[in-house]
Structure 1
């Protein structure tokens, strides 16, 4: 049974995401997933854009997608993925996985839209083995005061249009509270995007303490 339905956003997501892939998101997805191996839980895969980027060393990807329209598209994308991908129903705060059963959790553009990011991060911690990795690629609140003010204005309407996505969140401090961050870099995407409220981004790797 579907847990989250957002039919309008689900149908807008594909065309919007396709444009971002052409502008450089493919390379960022490759960076996000490089070096992974074993069993990976991807939370919120959308239409499955990450699937082609998983390295051959990954034995299985369990892709947890709560939105039924997106989940159907992800299941179709899984058919041609270079690694085994199993698409399942679930949410970021209730993953269908046992404690310590994953070598890595991968998220991209997720913590902006979950109702409680801290609860989601605690759930990621639960399913990871000791030393397991969290790979994250998220948009964030800008450190520039004027830009952050513009994000606050945009956030009055943006979540209603974009499936609950909030542009004013800063997930890195919450990640640091739970995980040991190995690396993280901030950047603007695309580099020429001066008006987009989701332009400030971070990508990195964190680890569950042993």
Structure 2
């Protein structure tokens, strides 16, 4: 759907591994040339040397992977763990294939897993924008009582102009995202309720005025 995502979702895992091992990247790529080799190594290092269906890898397969890893490693801190085949919870080998990731705002997370590394550039920006929106809403005088995942819960007075408030809140939230994703429109949906409901949506009367949404 979004071809540009390839730029963010691409990762040179072999280079990350070579850097962690202080190994020669060319030699490492020659040792494990296919993506599934790295995937297999990831499972071995996590202490779960098995296929997706739960079938354990053959012992000779895991033995060979450990020997190859030992032969490539020039990082003395990691070498002893490799020689001991240490995959305990606190073993540094558990994070050997983890990497660092940063958002375009400069916030960095280190030693993250694959899924976290792929998620952070997007969810991280959303989080930055939401923090800015929280600040902007508060400055505008709105009482934000909660924030749930990606939704603000804002308390309004029953005598308030609900249509004006809804449009104003939506505008503030959308504008707050612009410094983080310039040029990309970020619409904001809203609903008027007496309490928070996940499935709530905006409802209007015949005159187009915003009304309180009620569950069926």
TM value normalised by structure 2: 0.22
User: Of Structure 1 and Structure 2, which has the larger fraction of its residues in strand?
Assistant: 1
TM value normalised by structure 1: 0.22
Structure of higher CA gyration radius:
2
Higher relative contact order (CA 8 A, sep 6+): 1
